[in-house]
Amino acid sequence: MAKADRSAAIAELAEKFRTSSAAVLTEYRGLTVAQLTELRNSLRGNATYAVVKNTLTERATKEAGITAFEGQLTGPSAIAFIDGDPVEAAKGLRDFAKANPLLVIKGGVLDGKALTTDEIKKLADLESREVLLAKLAGAMNASLSQAVYLFAAPLSQTARVVDALRAKVEVEGPAAPAADAPAEAPVSEETTDEAPAAESTEAVAEGGDES
């Protein structure tokens, strides 16, 4: 490879490392072209799987300031440059490696931090961004619905109690105090009038619990 081509290849790799949110180093010794194509297709949308030269990649990682692959760039190497969901990309690599043991996951880097093989497997066990967002949205909707119920139920109950009291007054009419009743009589009558209100409130509350 000419010097200019080498420099261009190194610069391109370094740029991929800089612009990718994560990268996973693999060894693909023994895999066929068809298998590599299958792996690329499975990662599509989340990562680009590229076969790389170790010497050029080593220089590119130095230019990009990445130390996660030091001492690991041996044998036939390929890197998954992740620009989508890193969890989904990790799942794709893990599942493919299970079905095709010749693929060896050596390590990776996520947001500039080195990842071991075990950490990549743990990343693959996490729920995807879409699933987490869906759960968050569901939790928020449930909380909002509960809040609406808690605020609306007392208002509805209060309205029914008031309507019941109004109906009672319209049917029975206002109570006239006795002429020779003691001063405390109006208070006693008011207390008596409030008793049905308390009963109505309890009845509405019980009805609200059943509905």
In tens, the pLDDT along 98-118 reads 999 999 999 999 988 999 999
For 34-62, how does the pLDDT look when each residue is reduced to its tens digit (9 = 90+)? 999 999 999 999 999 999 999 999 999 99
For 144-198, how does the pLDDT look when each residue is reduced to its tens digit (9 = 90+)? 555 555 455 554 444 554 455 555 555 555 555 544 444 444 444 444 444 444 3
Residue 135: predicted pLDDT: 55
Residue 197: predicted pLDDT: 42
State both tokens at 199. Answer: 């009963």
pLDDT(90) > 60: yes
Q: How far is CA 142 from CA 6, 46, 148, in A?
A: 57, 31, 10
Residue 17: predicted pLDDT: 95
pLDDT(209) > 90: no
Domain definitions of the chain by residue range: 3-126, 138-210
Distance CA 5, CA 149 (A): 67
28 touches 106 (CB < 8 A): no
Q: Note the pTM of the prediction, 2 decimals.
A: 0.61
Residue 171: predicted pLDDT: 57
Output DSSP code: residue 180: T
- What homologous superfamily is domain 3-126 in, according to CATH? Ribosomal protein L10, N-terminal RNA-binding domain (3.30.70.1730)
Residue 2: predicted pLDDT: 79
Distance CA 30, CA 27 (A): 9
Residue that has been written with the tokens 């991929």 in this structure: 16
pLDDT range class, residue 132, cuts 50, 70, 90 = low
Nearest to 78 by CA among 1, 23, 11: 23
Residue 4: predicted pLDDT: 83
